[in-house]
C-alpha cells in the first residue's frame, strides 16, 4: 500500500504556503542540514 505523503503533510502541517507549513519546512530543513554537518564531522574524525 502506498501513502500519499503530500496529503499526509497537508493534513498534519497545513497546505503549502501557510504559516504552519512554512514553519515545518524551515524546521525540517534545519534538521536535515544539521544531520549532514554531523555526518561530515564524523567522517572527518574517522580520517584523523
Inside any domain, residue 7: no
**Within a domain: residue 34?**
yes
Q: What is the pLDDT of residue 46?
A: 85
Residue 32 lies in a domain: yes
- Residue 2 maps to a domain: no
- Give per-residue pLDDT as tens, 1-48: 999 999 999 999 999 999 999 999 999 999 999 999 999 999 988 887
Per-residue CA distances from 40 to 6, 17, 46, 47 (Å): 30, 32, 10, 11
- Tell me the CB-side half-sphere exposure of residue 43, using CA atoms within 13 A: 6
Q: Whole-model pTM?
A: 0.77
What pLDDT score was predicted for residue 27?
97
Residue 21 has a pLDDT of 96
Q: How many domains does the chain have?
A: 1
Cell of 1: 500500500
In the chain, the N- to C-terminal Cα span, in Å, equals 45
Range of the domain at 29: 22-48
Amino acid at each position: 500500500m502506498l501513502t500519499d505523503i503530500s496529503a499526509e503533510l497537508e493534513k498534519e502541517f497545513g497546505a503549502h504556503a501557510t504559516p504552519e507549513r512554512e514553519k515545518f519546512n524551515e524546521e525540517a530543513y534545519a534538521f536535515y542540514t544539521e544531520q549532514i554537518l554531523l555526518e561530515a564531522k564524523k567522517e572527518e574524525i574517522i580520517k584523523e
